[in-house]
Structure 1
Amino acid sequence: MTPRSRPTAGGSTALPGTDFGHLTESTRPLVELDDAARIRSIRSERWIGYPQARSVLGHLETLLSWPDRQRMPNLLLLGSTNNGKSMIIEKFRRTHPPTSLSDREQIPVLCVQMPPEPSPSRFYLAVLAALGTPIRPHSRVPDLERQALMLLRATKVRMLIVDELHNVLAGRDNARREFLNMLRFLGNDLRIPLVGVGTRDAYLAIRTDPQLENRFAPMTLPTWTNTPQARSLMASFAASYPLRQPSHLASPEMTDYLLTRCEGTIGELSTLLTSAAVLAVDTGAEAITPGVLERTEYLGPTERRRQFERHLP
């Protein structure tokens, strides 16, 4: 049963006789907020530092501090859709934010999303947009390349990350070759590590260029199975939501249930547990229980596809 609460200033609630030891230290103060504020906190983005993520971050730190040499090492971060790749990259980028100098900005880590087709012109435009540079319409590829290289050097970019690299396979053979040649040229010319992020198709694209394949060391984020690491992940999620009662998510049975329902990806797991935590606040359950999970409106990827296909003409 939830302890009786008493109102405090600002609409928050103080709960006598509870220390909320089931929550992380940073989450405990949020428990005393009103329901609307707690729900906003539950729905906000959260970082769960599981071992695979920390391993990738450590490797990125190593690459960022790599001494200058003619042939710099690169990384290919691979995983299924919605399995945490982009969140890891964003965490790393936030750890190394831009700094402002008197006459320019320094950007140690530049993240660019791969355009839907492997066109050098569109990629250079994406780089310039990420650098916050005004773009002249109808510029030729050599002009875009020259401007991008100049600004990448001026802002002292030390690592270039290309997300959604699997989009390379969307182009025809000659377009793919042209883009991969451009990628190899950037690495050679700038002498900085390149990081490609994508699904298995990103690896298939890189494999078509033997020189690039030799330079990109792959790291994978496999889908989750019922291991001690997965159960630790469940416990970390449970401790991060400002609920007033413990959520027992780390048992083998509960882990099996959650991973089956979300099909083993951390993005889907986060969506499911966030919806369940909101329902736990709305209903007064104050914990993610089997009953709350049964009532949580959530469909996994396969069921969403089936539902969509049923509505197709």
Structure 2
Amino acid sequence: MNSSHCIRAAIAELIIGHPAYVGAIDRLDESVEDALAGFPYQILFLTGLSQTGKTAILRTISHRYPSTRQSGRLLAQVLYVRVSPGVSPKGLPLCVLKALGQPIRSVAREGDLSDRMKEALIRAGVRVILFDEANHLIDKGHRISARLVGDWFKNLGDELNITCVLAGIPKLAKLLDANEQLRNRAQRPIELWPYRWDKSPDRLNFAGCARKFLECFTAEGYRVELGWDALTRHLYLLSAGLIGLLAKFFAELAKWLDGPAISLQQLRSAAERLNLPGRREVSPFGDALPEDALLMRVLVSELAIGELVLPSDTADAELANRTARALKAEFHVTH
């Protein structure tokens, strides 16, 4: 492999133990250990915007408890299940059976599939199911009510004492609002937020993640010409504090290498290949240094796309929220 390939491979394999990631892992690990010890089932929600690391967290938990085979039979105490777009509770047994490697007949009644799923879960010794992209169950236009979706998970826990982890974008938490019995059984959601520019610990953690990605480049003899403070600000403008998007940017940057020094133009070219967060006012890696107010507006805008509101617990956050409200009011007046 050439240097570019080596860097991209290193980034793909890199797991950064930043606080948000470690905190979520610890919470889920605790629940998995409880389930394996035979304690009553739990229902947990892991929510966050796209690129906050939900899938990576579920994969990490899944890999800590790998499946095995005994006399040809699959044993999987912790099962990772990806929920397909447009699926309903009727189709969830198919997703589970697929994750268990079970052959699926083209035509099967809902009751038969549910019974077969339960038998397969018992046979495989499943104690925990990690449902990734569970928000597809309440996608816009879905004909199945959120209450029925909640009932499906509650009933699975009641019947088989299986702990369920539901991961998805923030709207997934609406399941709790629609089903009081599910809400009473579920823990408070584990929320993954982008790192905030207005809070010093968050800003330092974000910068620490950026350094880890840059180490993949320095290991191959490359360095960025831009100063560290300016680079960090541009990286935040590019990512809105989302570490997953930061990883995508550096993987793209590895394709633009030409000599040991990485120029501003190379950074700009890599950024132009990405779908950037927020309602973009200024492109990253421009000539001007991004100011705090701009970085906060990008964060507020990205949160709004996920129907999240930044707490006005700092002066910078209050200013960003006030600006966002004014822009929204101006938009409604002019349209």
TM-score (norm 1): 0.77
Deviations 1:23-60 (A, max 9, x none): xxxxxxxxxx6436525525644322212111111112
Distance 1:278 1:43 in 2: 13
Distance 2:259 2:228 in 1: 23
Deviations 1:56-109 (A, max 9, x none): 111121111103244x22221111012211111112212221111124121122
User: 1:118 touches 1:175 (CA, 8 Å); kept in 2?
Assistant: no
Instruction: Kindly indicate whether residue 201 of structure 2 is the aligned counterpart of residue 233 of structure 1.
Output: no
Letter paired with 2:64: T
Letter paired with 1:231: A
Structure 2: 5+ residue stretches without partners: 198-202, 282-335
Deviation at 1:155, TM superposition (A): 0.7
Tell me, what secondary structure is at the counterpart of 1:160?
Answer: strand
Number of the residue aligned with 1:111: 80
Within 5 Å, which residues of 2 pair with 1:143-292? 143-170=112-139, 172=142, 174-214=144-184, 215-226=186-197, 227-241=203-217, 242-247=219-224, 251-280=228-257, 283-285=258-260, 288=262, 290-292=264-266
User: 2:84 touches 2:95 (CA, 8 Å); kept in 1?
Assistant: yes
User: 1:235 touches 1:250 (CA, 8 Å); kept in 2?
Assistant: no
Distance 1:37 1:173 in 2: 45
User: 1:112 touches 1:161 (CA, 8 Å); kept in 2?
Assistant: yes
TM-score (norm 2): 0.72
Distance 2:165 2:275 in 1: 30
Distance 2:104 2:161 in 1: 25
Tell me, what secondary structure is at the counterpart of 1:216?
Answer: coil
Number of the residue aligned with 1:53: 21
Deviations 1:111-142 (A, max 9, x none): 21223335222111111011000112221111
Distance 2:65 2:6 in 1: 29
Within 5 Å, which residues of 2 pair with 1:22-171? 34-35=2-3, 37-38=5-6, 41-42=9-10, 44-66=12-34, 67-70=37-40, 72-170=41-139
User: 1:78 touches 1:218 (CA, 8 Å); kept in 2?
Assistant: yes
Distance 2:62 2:48 in 1: 19
User: 2:86 touches 2:142 (CA, 8 Å); kept in 1?
Assistant: no
Deviation at 1:240, TM superposition (A): 3.2
Letter paired with 1:200: P
Letter paired with 2:232: T
Deviations 1:185-205 (A, max 9, x none): 011112122101011110012
User: 2:154 touches 2:182 (CA, 8 Å); kept in 1?
Assistant: yes
Distance 2:278 2:26 in 1: 36
> Given the superposition, is the C-alpha separation of residues 221 and 174 from structure 1 closer, same or farther in structure 2, using an over 3 Å criterion?
closer
User: 1:235 touches 1:249 (CA, 8 Å); kept in 2?
Assistant: no
Tell me, what secondary structure is at the counterpart of 1:301?
Answer: coil
User: 2:147 touches 2:175 (CA, 8 Å); kept in 1?
Assistant: no
Deviation at 1:288, TM superposition (A): 4.6
Tell me, what secondary structure is at the counterpart of 2:188?
Answer: strand
Distance 2:84 2:60 in 1: 22
Tell me, what secondary structure is at the counterpart of 1:112?
Answer: strand
Structure 1: 5+ residue stretches without partners: 1-32, 307-313
User: 1:108 touches 1:156 (CA, 8 Å); kept in 2?
Assistant: yes
What is the aligned-residue RMSD (CA, Å)?
2.7
Which of 267, 271, 274 in structure 2 is aligned with 1:293?
A: 267
Distance 2:20 2:278 in 1: 28
Tell me, what secondary structure is at the counterpart of 1:77?
Answer: strand
Comparing 44-53 with 231-240, which one deviates more in the overlay? 44-53
